[in-house]
Amino acid sequence: MTALAQFDPDALVELMRACAGGDQAAFATLYRRTSDKLFGICVHMLRERGEAEDALQDVYTNVWRRAGSFDPARANAMTWLITLARNQCIDRLRRHHEEQLDDSAAQRIIDPDPDPAAHSEISEQRQRLERCLATLAGQQREAVRAAFFTGATYNQLANRLDVPLATMKSWIRRSLIRLRECLEPTETQP
């Protein structure tokens, strides 16, 4: 468990700025502070260390090249980095593993931690999301988590959870609408 809050956001923003300016020492520091988290994500999503290493390399070369496009007004630095890592992994999954993931051997749902609320060090945002997830029906919550942690497509999820594709789409779409209502409750028009 690593609360994203443990990454000092201001310090990361400074490091990203320095990277955008070509500061290689700042890049090394950024790597030291964040690579454990991003590599954890790559290993978890790709399930193969060699490919996770390749993905990590692509993630950080992207970080270096695109640091200038990071806008701290729009996103938290760690959110930006994790997004880069997840997108890298999902793109790799789409490229290489479309068939393999449907194999029966891979149908096990990989859930890192079915009871994250049991941990005290999770962030406020994570706790809030957990409260909203808790309002979903069990199967639908499971589908959302499986989607997030495996990067699988609707088709793959339907196969793995053994439900029709239309059911899977409906579960996830209704869950997302529900989560949005739960996470953006008070922001109604005047």
Partner 1 sequence: MNTPLDDEPEDLRYAEYVLGVLDADARAAVEREIASDPLAAAKVARWQQHLLPLAEDIPATAPPAHAWARIESALGMQTARHESTQSARTGWWSNLALWRGFAFGAVAVAAACIIALLVLPRAMVTPAPGAAYMASTITQTDGQVGWTATMDLQHARMVVVPAKPQTLPADRVPELWLIPAGKKPIAVGMIAANGATAIALDKALVAQLGPTAALAVSVEPPGGSPTGQPTGPVIAKGAIGAAAVHGAG
Site of interaction with partner 1 (CB under 8 A): 1-4, 24-25, 28-29, 31-32, 35-37, 39-41, 43-44, 53, 56-57, 60-61, 64, 74-76, 79, 82-83, 86, 90-91, 94-95, 112-113, 116, 122-123, 125-126, 128-129, 144-145, 147-155, 157, 172-173, 176-177, 179-180, 183-184, 187-189
In whole angstroms, the minimum distance from the beta carbon of 53 to partner 1 comes to 6
In whole angstroms, the minimum distance from the beta carbon of 128 to partner 1 comes to 8
**Category of 39 on φ-ψ map: left (φ > 0), alpha (ψ -120 to 50) or beta:** alpha
Among positive and negative, which fits the CA dihedral 13, 15, 21, 27? negative
In whole angstroms, the minimum distance from the beta carbon of 164 to partner 1 comes to 15
Helix, strand, or coil here: 112?
coil
Instruction: Return the amino acid letter for 63.
Output: V
Among positive and negative, which fits the CA dihedral 30, 32, 35, 37? negative
How far apart, in whole angstroms, are the C-alpha atoms of residue 121 and residue 107?
31
In whole angstroms, the minimum distance from the beta carbon of 105 to partner 1 comes to 21
